[in-house]
Chains A and B, each alone.
Chain A
Amino acid sequence: MIKIDNVSMKFNLGIEKDFSMKQAFINLFANRKKRKKDEFWALKDVDFHVDKGEVVGLIGSNGAGKSTLLKVVSGVMKPTKGKVVVNGVISPMIELGAGFDPDLTARENIYLNGAILGYSKKFLDEKFDEIVEFSELREFLDVPIKNFSSGMTAKLAFSIATIVNPEILIVDEILSVGDIKFQEKSKNKMMEMIKGGTTVLYVSHSLQSIKDLCTKVVWLEHGKVIKMGNTKEVCDQYYKEQLG
C-alpha cells in the first residue's frame, strides 16, 4: 500500500542567509565544505512499508522527522533521494483547516477547504449537512470564521477533514480538538475511521493511543529509523530511553 524506499530528505538551512548581497558575495569566496554545514537531513535512508489494513504508528521526539515523513508520503514534498509509492486514495490529515480564509463564512470555507482536500462538489453537497451536524456549528454557518474562537475553527476543520472514507489515512496528532465533549466525539470518529479497515500512518506523542491503535510502530530519531516492529516492544523501549 505504502512503500517507502530508502527515502532521504535534505534541507538547506542556509537558504534564508543566501538572500542578501553580503552573503552572496561571501559565498563567492567561501569554500564548499563550510557551506555543507548548512545542510540538514530531516530524513536519512528511511525504509519500510505499510500493508493494506495495517495501522502504523510513528514515534520520536520533536524534530525527529515524523511530520516530514508524512509530508513526503502525502506528496507535499518530493524526497531528495529514494522513492515513495502509494497505492490508493490518500486522505492527509496533517494540518487541519488548510486554506481557511478568515474573511469567508463557515459555509464558504467548508467548500473551499473541501476543494483543497480534493473533494468534489457533488460529494460536498451530499455531505454538507453531516459536516455541519458534526461540527455543532449550525447557528454560526454564515459568520466569517475570523470571528470564531480557535476551538470552533478546529471543530469545523476536523469535521471537514474526517468526512471521507479514505483508503489511506495519514494522521498527525489531531485528536485533541475542541472542548471535552468534542474531544471524546472526535476520538471516537477517528477510531471508527481507523478500525474501518483503512491503512493508517499515525503520528502521536501519546504512547497510550499508539498502543491502543497500532499494529506496528516505527521509531524515528534524527531522521533515522531507530527501531521498528512490535508495538509494545518498541513503545516500551522508547519510553525507557526517553525517561529512564
Chain B
Amino acid sequence: MTKIKGIFSNFKRYWFLMTQLIGRDFKVKYKRSVLGILWSLLNPILTMTVMAVVFSQMFRFKVEGVNYIVYLMTGIIMFNYFSAASNAGMTSVVENFTLINKVYIPKYIFPMAKCLFVGIDFLLTLIPWLAIIGLSYVGLGQYTCHFNVYFLILPYIFLCMFLFTVGMSLLLSCLSVFLRDVWHIYGIILTLWNYLTPVFYSIEILPPKLQTLMNFNPMYQFLTAARSIVLYGQRPSFTTLSILGLIGVGMLAIGSFVFRKKQDKFIYYI
C-alpha cells in the first residue's frame, strides 16, 4: 500500500516535468509551420480521407451490414495511436541519454510523456472521427451509425489501450537500451501486427482457425469492443470489459516490472 502511495506521490512530484516535456514535443513539432497545432486536426482528417477513398472506392472493401468508413476509421485511429506511441516511447529513453547522464530524473517519465503526447494527438483525431459518425446520419457510407449511451464506455476502452501502450513502451524502451536492434525488429513487428489486426478488413474473411487465434491479439480486442459500440450500438459484455482492463493493467505491470528491475543499469550503456 505504501508502495502504491509512493508511486503516486512520485507521479505528482514529476507531473510538472511531464507537462514540460510534452509541451516541448508540441512546440518543436509545430515550430515554423503556419497552421501550427491545426495540423494535429488536419493531418488525421486528410489521412482518413485518403484511406477511405483507397479502401472503399479502389479496393472496394466492405464489411457486411455496417458503415465501412466508420469501421475503417475506428480501426485506423486506434491502431495508429498504439503504433505511434509505442514507437516514440521505445526510442525515448535512448534519445534522452544525455539528460539521464546529467541529472537524476525518474526514467519512466520519458516513455510515459511520449504516450501522453501522442495521446493528445489521438484525442484530437476523435473530433473528425465523431464528425464522420455524425455525417453517416446524412448519408455518408451506406449505413447510419447511431450515437448511443454506450459511447460513455469508450473512454474506458481507450484508457485500457493507453495502459497497454505505456506497458509496451516501458518494455521496449528498456530492451532497446541494451540492444539497439530492437528498434529495427519492432518496426517490422508493427507492420506485421497492423496487417494481422482487422483494421481495414473484417475478421470473417479469415479462416476459422485464425479467427480463434485472433482472440490473443490485444489490439483486436480493443478494436472490437469499440466497434461493437459505435457500429452496432451494443454494450460489450462485462467479461470483455474486464478482459480489456486485465490486458491494460497486465501489460503495464510487466513493462514496469522489467523497467524497474533494469533501470539502474541504463547508465552503463550510455
Chain A contact residues, CB within 8 Å of chain B: 11-12, 15, 19, 71, 74-78, 92, 94-95, 98-99, 101, 103-104, 108, 111-112, 115-118, 120-121
How far is A101 from B25 in the complex, measured between Cα atoms in Å?
10
**In the complex, how many residues of chain B place their beta carbon closer than 8 angstroms to a beta carbon of chain A?**
23
Chain B contact residues, CB within 8 Å of chain A: 16-17, 19-21, 23-24, 27-28, 31, 98-105, 180, 264, 267-269
B16 touches A112 (CB 8 A): no
Q: Assuming the A-B contacts A77-B267, A78-B264, are A101 and B24 also in contact, with contact meaning beta carbons closer than 8 angstroms in the complex?
A: yes
B20 touches A112 (CB 8 A): yes
A112 touches B180 (CB 8 A): no
A92 touches B104 (CB 8 A): yes
How far is A99 from B98 in the complex, measured between Cα atoms in Å?
8
A41 to chain B, nearest CB (A): 13
How far is A234 from B17 in the complex, measured between Cα atoms in Å?
42
A116 touches B24 (CB 8 A): no
Q: Assuming the A-B contacts A76-B104, A92-B103, are A115 and B27 also in contact, with contact meaning beta carbons closer than 8 angstroms in the complex?
A: no
Question: Of A95, A99, A103, A115, which contacts B28 at CB under 8 A?
Answer: A103
How far is A115 from B21 in the complex, measured between Cα atoms in Å?
9
**Residues in chain A near residue B100, CB distance under 8 A:** 76
How far is A36 from B171 in the complex, measured between Cα atoms in Å?
30
Interface majority SS (helix, strand, loop, mixed), chain A: loop
Question: Of B98, B104, B268, which contacts A75 at CB under 8 A?
Answer: B104
A158 to chain B, nearest CB (A): 15
Interface majority SS (helix, strand, loop, mixed), chain B: helix
**Residues in chain B near residue A94, CB distance under 8 A:** 102-103
A203 to chain B, nearest CB (A): 15
A104 touches B28 (CB 8 A): yes
Question: Of B20, B23, B101, B180, which contacts A19 at CB under 8 A?
Answer: B180
A185 to chain B, nearest CB (A): 24
List the 8 closest A-B pairs by CB distance, nearest first.
A75-B104, A115-B20, A115-B17, A98-B102, A95-B102, A78-B264, A98-B103, A112-B20
A238 to chain B, nearest CB (A): 27
Chain B residue, CB-CB nearest to A109: B24
A116 touches B27 (CB 8 A): no
In the assembled complex, 14 residue pairs joining A and B whose CB atoms fall closer than 8 Å, in A order, are A76-B100, A76-B102, A76-B103, A94-B102, A98-B102, A99-B99, A101-B24, A103-B31, A112-B21, A112-B24, A115-B16, A115-B17, A115-B20, A120-B16
B103 touches A104 (CB 8 A): no
A104 touches B104 (CB 8 A): no
How far is A103 from B17 in the complex, measured between Cα atoms in Å?
18
**Residues in chain B near residue A98, CB distance under 8 A:** 98-99, 102-103
**Residues in chain A near residue B16, CB distance under 8 A:** 115, 120-121
How far is A112 from B109 in the complex, measured between Cα atoms in Å?
14
How far is A67 from B183 in the complex, measured between Cα atoms in Å?
32
How far is A68 from B27 in the complex, measured between Cα atoms in Å?
34
Chain B residue, CB-CB nearest to A113: B20
